Structure 1
């Protein structure tokens, strides 16, 4: 967040008005309670400088983050503090994040705040890719919605960081006004839509970026879920350190944080949710590839794709627009609470479509209803190898036009127990696999030479299409696999007949 390669300075007087119509509130924190809502925010503690030579230690203490008069206050204090691993700092503050609790792809994201002031003071409202633990920074993407540094009290910055354009090479816009930003409350926000992010202050547009603004051969990574962050830093390479003129404590006051979504634009075949949440455990590196492939299929076939890793999307109201939900390479805990599971169950019972790709059968392993919906529970796979797949039902939309037999290199999934109501689409002979542990799975012999690898199912009012294929990134560029996926998704949506007539 500390350096700026490209600055666009605009006057507030000439900034364009924001397009506020057509947005629907989907998440907010009004900070009206007695304490910070732990279901929404987590403290990110530490005093290691945060990559910027910052001087504060972020704590989870009441002294550094608390609610007061219907507002969140993040307070930076000048005090000696020793934290974990014996790290000592001369300042304390707080950093709050929604990682693992709320993340969003696209929307209008705003906060009403009153900023602090003073040399070396650095408040920020920003977003990081939810996949940061898997891909690292800046590959995950960073959207800085609001940053201000004390030595420039009237200047607001909005910035993007991504692979090849981070740190000193980041892409930034700024706006300066006649008064310090600390003089009053302001609403800072972005409108984030496919291939464009627009920055606003008090409803006035001052900056926008699209992929065409990136340096040559750099990737736009702002097509995936990002979580929110609020923090008040002290010192660092960009703002410089406090001096004799800086007073403490410093306070960042946050009246509210709100996230809106634009109602779905009509697509000929409706909308599909792609859900990729992974709990604790192994996470596939193919998720972004699968989402890109599904978006391309949707654009070609006529359905709109929304991607999320946020379990809060599982409510009756928010699931209404979707004709099918695709669990693409999800694994382990897909939900955080039973109300989300209940909303998903009601969605299926109302006739919603479910699509599972690859490790989706490893999700929610302790929930039998989900196992029955998916068709089985993943238990094991031998090493990646090439094996022969036979098409069991050549008339289904997910197999139509595919060869009757083909070789495929992948993980061959074993499932147990399975829903006896599945209708297999792909099968393979497990006795032909290179698997020294095969004898340890007594459920395999009854399948004979026809271990199911893809199937359909009607369960509890819904329609299930599942395929165990799809471990490798390159699978999501394979025409055979993409044809298989598209046919299965259209069937789950109710758009394709099960047999040729």
Structure 2
């Protein structure tokens, strides 16, 4: 379809107006020398005894030493130290929650078979109802064994494990530099974006506690897993160490 210049001007104006209607209500720019622990928690260890391998047979041990904040960026390091894989996982559980609006992160992916970086969310009620009834929103997942591909997914009581509600998006340049990963979440649907391009929409016709747990607050998680059911099982040790870099996180309402 050929678009004339007047249609293009109208389209650009409409998109710009849509953006200006949003209000930035919270942002994390990692501009302090250390992680702000009034917002963030470290999750430590290998998940045992309650969730060994973090529920996915992951191989890393999480520490509070595998990260740094440098030049306004959070850098998570995946390493192999002797026979132990180490990394970092942080959450906003019990400190900062989100419900509806646009949530986005600007991030640069690590590269290597066995690496599994993620920017995702869990329902605040997980300690009461458990997973997957709490719901899960995977804004970004990437696995090194499938290069040039990003995954955007959801888990609910009605659909979990084999991840029916998901989309694989092929982006040849996704490993190059920074990209923006976002959701636009309303009471009716969740749209997923990569660099402001819509890649997936979740909008079930029937909404109940088993299909739509997304009518409650969620908290954020950022982590870099190693191996596991999805990321592995094989890990290319020669690719380590690697970095998962997060420039910022923003919430708009």
TM-score bracket, shorter-length normalisation: 0.7 to 0.9
Q: Residues 95 and 231 of structure 1 are in contact (CA less than 8 Å); yes or no, is this contact kept in structure 2? A: yes
Give the direction of change, closer, same or farther, for the CA distance of 1:230–1:213 in structure 2 (3 Å limit): farther
Aligned mates of 1:217, 1:32 — CA distance in 2:
39
Q: For 1:240 and 1:246, locate their aligned partners in 2 and report how far apart those are by CA, in whole Å.
A: 15
Task: Give the match for residue 89 of structure 2.
Answer: 95
- CA gap 1:217/1:108 in 2 versus in 1, 3 angstroms: closer
- Residue 75 of structure 1 aligns with which residue? 77
* Superposition deviation, residue 78 in structure 1: 0.4
Q: Deviations over 1:127-163 (max 9, x none)?
A: 0001111111111110000000001121111111011
Structure 2: segments with no counterpart, 5+ residues: 1-14, 47-51
Please name the residue that 1:31 is paired with.
30
Report the RMSD for the aligned CA atoms in angstroms: 2.0
Q: Distance in 2 between matches of 1:234 and 1:213?
A: 36
**Maintained 8 Å contact 2:150/2:169:** yes
Contact between 1:119 and 1:241, CA under 8 Å: does it hold in 2? no
User: Does the CA contact (< 8 Å) of 1:98 and 1:229 recur in 2?
Assistant: yes
SS at match of 2:85: strand
Question: TM-score, length-normalised on structure 2?
Answer: 0.87
Structure 1 or 2, whichever has the larger Rg, is 1
Do the aligned partners of 1:78 and 1:249 also contact (CA within 8 Å) in 2?
Answer: yes
Residues of 1 paired with 2:119 and 2:188: CA distance?
21
2:203 corresponds to 1:201: no
In structure 1, the residue corresponding to 2:93 is in which secondary structure?
coil
Deviation per CA, 1:59-91, whole angstroms, max 9, x where unpaired? Answer: 112xx01101110001111014xxxxxxxx720
The question of 1:226 aligning with 2:218 is answered yes
The answer for the alignment partner of 2:49 in structure 1 is none
SS in 2 for 1:183: coil
1:242 to partner: Cα distance: 4.1
Q: TM-score, normalised by structure 1?
A: 0.45
Change (3 A) 1:153 1:198: same
Q: Given the alignment, which residue of 112, 116, 119 partners 2:110?
A: 116
Aligned to 1:187: 180
Ranges in structure 1 where 5+ consecutive residues have no aligned partner:
1-16, 81-88, 262-501
Pair 200,169 (structure 1): closer, same or farther in 2 beyond 3 Å: closer
Residue 168 of structure 1: aligned partner: 162
- Identify the residue that residue 377 of structure 1 maps to in structure 2: none
Superposed CA offset, 1:206-254 (max 9, x none): 110112288x994311000000000000001112134446411110000
Three-state SS of the structure 2 residue aligned to 1:138 is coil
Would the alpha carbon gap of residues 237 and 104 (structure 1) be closer, same or farther in structure 2, given more than 3 Å must change?
same
The Cα offsets for residues 16-70 of structure 1, whole Å up to 9 and x where unpaired, read as: x895342111111101111111111110112120110000001112xx0110111
Contact 2:114 2:236 in 1 (8 A): no
Deviations 1:332-387 (A, max 9, x none): xxxxxxxxxxxxxxxxxxxxxxxxxxxxxxxxxxxxxxxxxxxxxxxxxxxxxxxx
Whether the 8 Å CA contact 1:119–1:246 is kept in 2: the answer is no
Alignment match, 1:480: none
Q: Is residue 225–residue 231 contact of structure 2 (8 Å, CA) maintained in 1? A: no
Decide whether aligned partners of structure 1 residues 188 and 249 sit closer, same or farther in structure 2, where only a CA change above 3 A counts.
same
Secondary structure, counterpart of 1:221 in structure 2: coil
Please show how residues 276-425 of structure 1 align to structure 2 within 5 Å.
none
Deviations 1:382-422 (A, max 9, x none): xxxxxxxxxxxxxxxxxxxxxxxxxxxxxxxxxxxxxxxxx
Q: Distance in 2 between matches of 1:135 and 1:167?
A: 17
- Please name the residue that 1:126 is paired with: 120
Aligned residues: 233
CA distance in 1, matches of 2:247, 2:37: 17
Superposition pairs of residues 452-491 of structure 1, within 5 angstroms:
none
SS in 2 for 1:237: helix
SS in structure 2 opposite 1:116? coil
Q: Rate the CA distance shift 1:244–1:204 in 2: closer, same or farther, 3 A.
A: closer
The answer (yes or no) to whether the contact 1:234–1:242 under 8 Å persists in 2 is: no
Residues 118 and 242, structure 1, Cα contact 8 Å, conserved in 2: no
